[in-house]
Every structure is written in structure tokens, then in C-alpha cells.
Amino acid sequence: MTPRDLASQLRARFGDLLSDPVDFRGETTLTVRNAEAIETVCQYARTALGCDFLVDISSVDHHGQDPRWMIVYELFGLAHRTHLRLETPVSEERAELPTVTPVWPAAEWHEREIYDMMGIRFRGHPDLRRILMWEGYPYHPLRKDFPLSGKATRIPGVAFTEPAPLDGGPFVTTPGAPDAPSREPRARNPEG
């Protein structure tokens, strides 16, 4: 069994709902064109194709494009040892799609993290609440329009009351430095 075999079987079952498979660096990806069908496609991949292990679910922010997000499902079959990637677009207007927790219960925490960090809702999720940020936090920090310096909060003692300075922060490196340690911000300011 190869990823192309899995992709062919999915295309035979769902037809134009799925894109043609794309191979890149030895991995095969299919796009589920309609996010509303993701649970049905995943259920078929698990039961009929033996993709019984959900490796990961992640989200990609294509800020400024429509649809804004791509939700990516990394599937693996333990019996046939084959990896397949499914992805589905989600628009900023709707920012919602069905949960896949009935297919893989392990999806619960992945979907909670995507909800927390990107603000995408998973309809039918058994416990959709923040997993990293505190309840009531009004932002979604992994969106590309969220400033790297953070945002000020009005809740003293819970987080910084002012945005953290970028000077020496974890995301500001020096391009063109000869090696990784000299690109590290703390190397430029050893006292801070």
C-alpha cells in the first residue's frame, strides 16, 4: 500500500469533492474542497482504508487570502504503515467546520489548540474551550495579524500589562550572522 493507492481509493469514493493528489518530498496530500465533508472523508479513511492513527491536526494562516485558513490532517495506517495528508480550506467569514472527534477521540486536544490559537470553531466538539490561554482572553495568538510583541492586557497579575518589547525577544534574530548562536538575540545583549 502506498500513499498514492490511498489517495486513489479516496478519489474513487468521493470524486470531485477531493482534489487530485499532490506529491511533494515523498508525501501525498489531498484537499477536501468542502470543509463540511471532512468528517465523512476522515471516517471513510479510517474504516475503509485503515488510517487508524491520527498523527496531528494543524492549521495554516494564509492571512490576506480567501479562504484564510487551511486545516491539515496527518493520517497513518498502523497495519499498512502508510502516511496520507488531508487538508481542507476554511474561510474567515465562517471560521468553523465539523469536528473529527467521533472518528479519532485524540482529535479533541488538537482541535482545542486550533480553536485557542487561531479562533476556528469545531462544530460538535465535546469540550471546545481554550487549552493554552485563559478563558476570556480576547485574541488568538497564532494568527498572522497578531503582533509578535503581544497585546496589552487590562488584567494585572495575569499577564504583562504592557506589550513585551521585541528587543531581545525570542523572535528577533540577526539575519546573515555566521552561526545560530550569534543570531540568537541574547547574544547581542548578554545583560538582558
* Residue of 105, 148, 134, 99 lying closest to 120 (CA atoms): 99
Question: Does the structure show a pLDDT above 80 at 172?
Answer: no
Residue pLDDT, tens place only, 20-77: 999 999 899 999 999 999 999 999 999 999 999 999 999 999 999 999 999 999 999 9
Residue 107 near residue 57 (C-beta atoms within 8 A): yes
Q: Phi and psi for 162 in degrees, rounded to 5?
A: -125, 155
Give 179 or 170, the one with higher predicted confidence: 179
Scan for cell 486550533, then name that residue: 114
Give, in words, the CATH class of 3-142. alpha beta
- CATH 3.30.460.80-classified regions of the chain: 3-142
**Distance separating alpha carbons of residues 87 and 96, to the nearest angstrom:** 14
Confidence of residue 168 (pLDDT cuts 50, 70, 90): very low
Residue pLDDT, tens place only, 137-158: 888 999 998 887 777 766 665 5
**Distance separating alpha carbons of residues 172 and 144, to the nearest angstrom:** 16
Residue 98 near residue 120 (C-beta atoms within 8 A): no
DSSP letter, residue 36: G
Conformation bin of residue 15: beta by default, left when phi > 0, alpha when psi is -120 to 50: left
**Distance separating alpha carbons of residues 80 and 3, to the nearest angstrom:** 10
| Mean pLDDT rounded to a whole number for the chain | 87
